[in-house]
Chain A
Amino acid sequence: MTENKNPYLPDLATVIKVIDETPNIKSYQVILNDPEKMKTFFYEPGQVGQLSVFGVGESTFVINSPPTRMDYLQFSVMRVGEVTSVIHELHEGDQIGVRAPLGNWFPYEEMKGKKILFIGGGIGLAPLRTLILFMLDNRADYGDITILYGSRTPPDLCYKDDLKEWESRSDVSLILTVDTEYPGWDKRTGFVPTVLNEIAPSPEDTIAITCGPPIMIKFVLQNLAKLNFKDENIITTLEARMKCGIGICGRCNIGSKYICKDGPVFSLAQLKEYRAEI
Chain B
Amino acid sequence: MADTGFVQKEKLEEFLRELSKDAVVYAPCLEGDTVIFKTFDPGTTLCLDRPANNPPKLAVFPQSETLFSFKYKKDAEDPRKMSVELEANTDFPRAIIFGARPCDAKGFRIYDRVYMDTNTPDPYYQGRREKTMIATLCCSAPSPGCFCVAVGGGPAHREGSDVLITQFEKGYFIEPVTEKGKTILNAPQIEDGAQYAEEAHKRQLESHDLVRNPFAEDGLPKISRSLFDLDEFWEHVVSKCLSCGACTYLCPTCYCFNITDEQSLDIGERIRSWDGCMFPHFTLEGSGHNPRPTKFKRFKNRVGHKFLYYPEKYNGVIACCGCGRCIRHCPVSVDISEIVSYLRGSRFEFTNEPPESIGTDTNS
Contacts and interface: CB of A to CB of B under 8 A. Distances in A.
Given A241-B286, A247-B118, A248-B122, A10 B86 contact: yes
A261 B250 CA distance: 27
Contact of B82 (A10, A52, A81, A95): A95
B311 to A, nearest CB: 9
Contacts of A8: 67-68, 88, 122-124, 259, 270, 272
A95 B80 CA distance: 12
Interface in B68-108: 68, 70, 72, 78, 81-84, 86, 88, 90
A246 B263 contact: no
A80 B286 contact: yes
Interface in A194-252: 213-214, 239-241, 243-244, 246-252
Which residue of A56, A239, A243, A248 has the most chain B CB atoms within 10 A of its CB atom? A248
Contact of A256 (B81, B257, B287, B313): B313
Contacts of B312: 255-256
Q: Taking chain B's interface residues, is the majority helix, strand, or loop, or is none over half, making it mixed?
A: mixed
Interface residues of A, number: 43
A253 interface: yes
Contacts, number: 124
B282 A256 contact: no
B264 to A, nearest CB: 9
A239 B282 contact: no
B259 A255 contact: no
B310 to A, nearest CB: 7
Given A246-B120, A256-B312, A55 B291 contact: no
Interface string A47-79: 000001011111100000000000000000000
B70 to A, nearest CB: 4
B259 A249 contact: yes
B62 interface: no
Contacts of A250: 255-257, 277, 305
A54 B118 contact: no
Interface string B29-63: 00000000000000000000000000000000000
Contacts of A97: 84, 86
A51 to B, nearest CB: 13
A240 B283 contact: yes
User: DSSP class of A's interface residues: helix, strand, loop or mixed?
Assistant: loop
Contacts of B286: 59, 80-81, 84, 241
B294 interface: no
Given A95-B84, A251-B282, A256-B309, A57 B268 contact: no
A12 B308 CA distance: 39
Q: Top 6 nearest A-B pairs by Cβ distance?
A: A55-B263, A250-B256, A256-B309, A54-B70, A246-B120, A7-B120
Interface of A: 1-2, 5-10, 12, 52, 54-59, 80-81, 84, 93-95, 97, 213-214, 239-241, 243-244, 246-256, 275, 277
27 contacts: A2-B120, A5-B123, A8-B122, A9-B67, A9-B88, A12-B84, A54-B70, A54-B84, A55-B263, A93-B78, A94-B81, A240-B285, A240-B291, A241-B283, A241-B284, A241-B285, A246-B118, A246-B120, A247-B114, A248-B114, A249-B256, A249-B275, A250-B256, A250-B277, A251-B282, A253-B305, A256-B310
Interface of B: 67-68, 70, 72, 78, 81-84, 86, 88, 90, 114-115, 118-124, 229, 255-263, 268, 270, 272, 275, 277, 282-287, 289, 291, 301, 304-305, 308-310, 312-313
